[in-house]
Amino acid sequence: MKRMILAAVLAVAVHGVAVADSDAVAAARSYRKANDARILRDFADLLAIPNVAARPGELRRTAVAIRDGLASRGVSAELLEIDGVPPIVYGRLDAPGAERTLGIYVHYDGQPVDPSQWSHPPFEPRLYTAPVDRGGRSRPFPEAEEAIDPEWRISARGAGDDKAPLGAIFPALDALRAAGIPRTSNLVFFFEGEEEAGSDHLSDYMAAHREKIDPVDLWLICDGPVHQSRRPQLVFGVRGYTGIDITVYGAERYLHSGHYGNWAPNPAHDLARLLATMKDDQGRVLIEGFYDSVAPLTESERQALAEVPDVDEELRLELGLARSEGVGSLVERIQMPSLNIRGIASATVGSSARNIVPIRAEVSIDVRLVKGNDPAGMLDLVERHVTAQGYHIVRDKPDHATRLAHPRIARVVRRPGYPAVRTSMDLEIVEPVIEAASRAAGESVVLMPTLGGSLPLYLFTEQLQRPLVIVPIANHDDNQHAPDENLRLANLWYGIDLFAALFTM
Amino acid sequence: MKRMILAAVLAVAVHGVAVADSDAVAAARSYRKANDARILRDFADLLAIPNVAARPGELRRTAVAIRDGLASRGVSAELLEIDGVPPIVYGRLDAPGAERTLGIYVHYDGQPVDPSQWSHPPFEPRLYTAPVDRGGRSRPFPEAEEAIDPEWRISARGAGDDKAPLGAIFPALDALRAAGIPRTSNLVFFFEGEEEAGSDHLSDYMAAHREKIDPVDLWLICDGPVHQSRRPQLVFGVRGYTGIDITVYGAERYLHSGHYGNWAPNPAHDLARLLATMKDDQGRVLIEGFYDSVAPLTESERQALAEVPDVDEELRLELGLARSEGVGSLVERIQMPSLNIRGIASATVGSSARNIVPIRAEVSIDVRLVKGNDPAGMLDLVERHVTAQGYHIVRDKPDHATRLAHPRIARVVRRPGYPAVRTSMDLEIVEPVIEAASRAAGESVVLMPTLGGSLPLYLFTEQLQRPLVIVPIANHDDNQHAPDENLRLANLWYGIDLFAALFTM
């Protein structure tokens, strides 16, 4: 039954058949058209409050403004606080007779800014006719009756990542109220102020206020961009993360490469050989068991993947790549765990290279995890592989006696990790989300089993034991984390429609 | 016949049978014993003149002092000059009836100094009871009648490298004159002031003054240390040098390792695989033809090598190595060409590593050459190997079109190189040198076919077309190129005996 409904929704998505706008989406659109200049100005006011994660003092102002924004819309809103940590903006808005509670996660903090790199001060929002790096010109914010081009960009730190959902949720609530359309779910708002700093206290907040968020049946993680093809997307998971640093050693001091080269072991060459055993030139990781714990994709996930627009060729052209690694498209590759060299260092290169045998060689590796992979277990596999290549593993810099006792020594430093998250597309509660997004988009939405990137969303699925769906609204070219961050107005409009649809699904 | 004489000398060397001191060595010793305090003071005066290669202005003072030192001993001495280049100190001292002319090469410039690293100002010579880092104490220079411990060290920049031969040649000439012992060879002195700066004008000086040095039958290259076992040694060659830098490329910009890792080619991993194909874990270079052009060792050279004291185990202990690379001892390894990684770099490691796919990876390689290896030809072999691994070779940073046209691109930068030198131990003119050194040493001397290091001595053998023998006198632990450079007095005394023997052989 679930399968059949999902299949029907996917069929709509696949064939691009337009679905009739629901009342809610129609109401959101007419409300937005009547109020677009004001909606934009309200969003600009929110963007004007600095929200750099590295400056926690500023974040409180932002949190207060958001709490007040919720409260003015009838939400029972408050700040949850832990000393010295940016507050959580929490809110609850019940719907009479609702049998379902949706959790809405947004983060209101932003990445650092280097104003010298921006076209304008990052917390003085500007409107541009197009992206600045593609010829966009600054223009005044429109008056009430002026026509607004949906290709315009509103630019400020946080415009895309991650105040954009706030810019859409408030008008969506207003639109539904104005049209007298009842919400069908209870809503729990849970807005974090520490995401760009690593979400170090998210787990503590969840534990301290468990009773406030326990009613949530499904979390909507409002963050990230839509698909590169500009098609709206829903994302059902993120990859997990871990990493390992390996240092191999040569002699205790630098040796003259003429007098000792090819007699003294060269740690750079040893490391090269070690790394060569880890991945072949087709991109397949050769570490035993590396792919064994991968949870297989479901039929729905496989079908969804087959429908994701192919951007590989375009990406290769853009990036100057005549090939990509491995068999399969980008979107297929990120369904598998990865082993990526972040950096290698041994002595010096180029004009500062010296005629020496290096004393050590270091590599830093990150491992991205998919559903089924245990972070520590994956590092165990890497270590076992290193051992199998004849290395004695140490945790600290080896002393003289250790060096004399072992022909090959690898110092291994394991990075902390966390697992992947992937919500099944076949869950009953997921079906209306897909349907609502398709209605809001007016076209099929991309259903992405996982993002390539990593976020600690396992806190929602493991600590809170609830499913989640990521519902992005920002454009993929929003300069997230970079200068001239911006939100395309068409994406903001989509966001308003999307939340109106989700709140009434 | 030649072989038999050499074999006899070697037999002496092998069995350590003391040879009767010749008159010249005896005369040198008694002269030295009677004048040791003054000899030491004269040497200290020479060491007190700064001679840093990087400050050419100071070098002239040193050159003038040496010229005057030669002239005061009856040598027809002068400075040869090229504008803006440190002069050559040239001298000629004929011996009536001599049928042979020996060329004496020394360099009078020294490495840079960082006085803050020294135990005393580097151009204020001091006498120590032992090496400073092994508890040596500074003590006054001795008075005429005081007993002098041959284990004392005289410390200053240039004490070992390479004013030491000057500190020995002058007293040797004085001793022979005092004893009325005639020299048996004409002598040509040719002292360079630019060795530590790369000997960039040595070839020009040779060409400009060819007629002055053309009479030389055998060059004695007076530089470098004796064997690590403290046994005096003669060295018959040096390795040649060349090098190659290779950069391989990934995408044109840094990519997020979660979104693109294991799809975007990782140049660090590509480079690791490329390097792994170049040398196996037994130290054997796998590049096709790498060992093909090596000139085989002669029977004399093989015999000499077998007699070189084995220092491998001691070295491994000192350096914290549980193994060395490859089959064979250190002295055997340096008879072969080497391929050594000087450094590798790709993005960053450790705490500054980022979650990215690097855009490029670089390696710097030096290749040491032995007799028979052509520098350019060896780099051709390396390039052919890179091509055989599927790389398209470029000379400059590849542009977008080049990147799109070739799946694997390696930028190759070839370093300038020069060939190895190895004088045959079987040459007739070499026999008396071995015999003289053994007489001076009072024991068998180590006969080393080649040093592991590289010097552009091919100028003597190829431009001048003359054989050469390297006659080192400095101790191996002289802190050459380092702070607290020093000469062990026993080595200075050996030098005086050695030159007295060589000048009368």
Asked if residue A94 belongs to a domain, the reply is: yes
For residue A148, which of A175, A128, A122, A120 has the smallest C-alpha distance?
A: A128
Examine the fold and report which residue of B392, B418, B444 is the final residue of a domain before the chain moves on: B418
N residues, chain A: 505
**A142: closest CA of chain B, how far (Å):** 36
pLDDT tens profile A184-228: 999 999 999 999 888 999 999 999 999 999 999 999 999 999 998
Q: Which residues of chain B have pLDDT under 50?
A: 1-21
Ranges of chain A with pLDDT below 50: 1-21
- Statement to judge: residues B401 and B489 lie in one domain: no
Bridge-based pairing of strands B126-128 and B138-139 is antiparallel
Question: Looking at the complex, does the CB of residue A416 fall below 8 Å from at least one CB of chain B?
Answer: no
In this structure, are B150 and B230 located in the same domain? yes
C-alpha span between A25 and A144 (Å, rounded): 22
Query: DSSP label at A444?
Result: P
pLDDT of residue B116: 92
B350–A265 C-beta distance less than 8 A? no
B262 shares a domain with B168: no
Structural tokens at position A419: 């697992």
Q: Tell whether A473 lies on the interface with B, counting CB pairs under 8 A.
A: no
Query: Do A7 and A15 form a contact (C-beta atoms < 8 A)?
Result: no
Q: Does any CB of chain B come closer than 8 Å to the CB of residue A360?
A: no
* Nearest Cα residue in chain A from B389: A281
CATH of the domain at A469: 3.40.630.10
Is any Cβ of chain A less than 8 angstroms from the Cβ of B452? yes
Q: What is the pLDDT of residue A22?
A: 57
Nearest Cβ partner for A368 among B253, B261, B264: B261
pLDDT at A70: 98
pLDDT value of residue B432: 97
Which positions in chain A touch B111 (Cβ < 8 Å)? Answer: none
The answer to whether residues A414 and A467 belong to one domain is no
Co-location of B242 and B225 in the same domain: no
Q: HSE-up of A337 (CA within 13 Å, CB side)?
A: 34
Q: Give me the domain span that covers residue A383.
A: 240-297+335-418
Q: How many CA atoms lie within 13 A of A312 on its CB side?
A: 17
Q: Vertex A363, ends A358 and A365: CA angle to 5°? A: 175
Same domain, B137 and B255: no
Minimum Cα–Cα distance from A251: chain B residue = B319
- pLDDT for residue B5: 42
Contact with chain A for residue B363, Cβ under 8 A: yes
Nearest residue in chain A measured CA to CA from B329: A263
In a domain, A482, yes or no: yes
Cα A88 from Cα A201, distance rounded (Å): 10
Q: A349 vs B364: CB contact, 8 Å cut-off?
A: yes
DSSP state string for B12-56: HHHHTPPPPPPHHHHHHHHHHHHHHHHHHHHHHHHHTS--BTT-H
**B230 and B258 assigned to the same domain:** no
Q: Which of A277, A327, A349 best tests the B interface by mutation, with the highest count of B CBs <10 A?
A: A349
- What is the side-by-side order of every strand in the sheet holding A126-128? A138-139, A126-128, A153-155, A486-488
- A343/B contact by beta carbon, under 8 A: yes
- Closest CA in chain A for residue B278: A269
With an 8 Å Cβ cutoff, are B265 and A355 in contact?
no
- Chain A residues within 8 A of B339 when measuring between CB atoms: 262
Q: Do B341 and A252 touch (CB under 8 A)?
A: no
**Partner residue facing B400 (CB), from A277, A320, A353:** A320
B-chain residues within 8 Å CB-CB of A349? Answer: 245, 342-345, 362-364
Domain count for chain B, please give it: 2
Residue by residue, DSSP assigns B311-347 as: -HHHHHHHHT-S--SSSS-HHHHTTS-EEEEEEEEEE
Please check whether residues B73 and B35 belong to one and the same domain: yes
Give domain status of residue A323, yes or no. no
Per CB-CB distance under 8 Å, the chain A contacts of B348 are: 342-343, 345, 364
Contact B342 A334 (CB under 8 A): no
* Nearest beta carbon to residue B362 from set A285, A349, A366: A349
Residue A176: per-residue pLDDT = 97
Shared domain for A151 and A251, answered yes or no, is no
Residue of A nearest to B270 (CA): A281
Check if the beta carbon of residue B436 is closer than 8 Å to that of residue B501: yes
In a domain, A327, yes or no: no
**CA atoms within a 13 Å half-sphere pointing along the CA-CB vector of A316:** 17
User: Do B110 and B193 share a domain, yes or no?
Assistant: yes
Give the pLDDT of residue A15.
Answer: 37
In chain A, residues 302-321 whose CB comes closer than 8 Å to chain B: 316-317, 319-321
Domain end among B418, B443, B465: B418
Q: Give the residue on B whose Cα is nearest the Cα of A253.
A: B319
In chain A, the residue whose alpha carbon lies closest to the alpha carbon of B281 is: A270
In a domain, A21, yes or no: yes
Question: Is residue B202 within 8 angstroms of chain A, CB to CB?
Answer: no
Count CB pairs under 8 A between chains A and B: 274
Distance (Å) from the alpha carbon of B20 to chain A's nearest alpha carbon: 35
Residues B127 and B225 in one domain: yes
Give yes or no: residues B340 and B410 share one domain. Answer: yes
The CATH number that applies at residue B390 is 3.30.70.360
pLDDT the model gives residue B55:
79
Task: Read off the pLDDT of residues B446-460 as tens digits, 9 standing for 90 and up.
Answer: 999 999 989 899 999
Residue B429 lies inside a defined structural domain of this protein: no
Residue A325, domain member (yes or no): no
Structure tokens at A95: 């719907």
Domain presence at residue B441: yes
Question: So what's the pLDDT on residue B22?
Answer: 57
Instruction: Judge whether A415 is closer than 8 Å to chain B, CB to CB.
Output: no
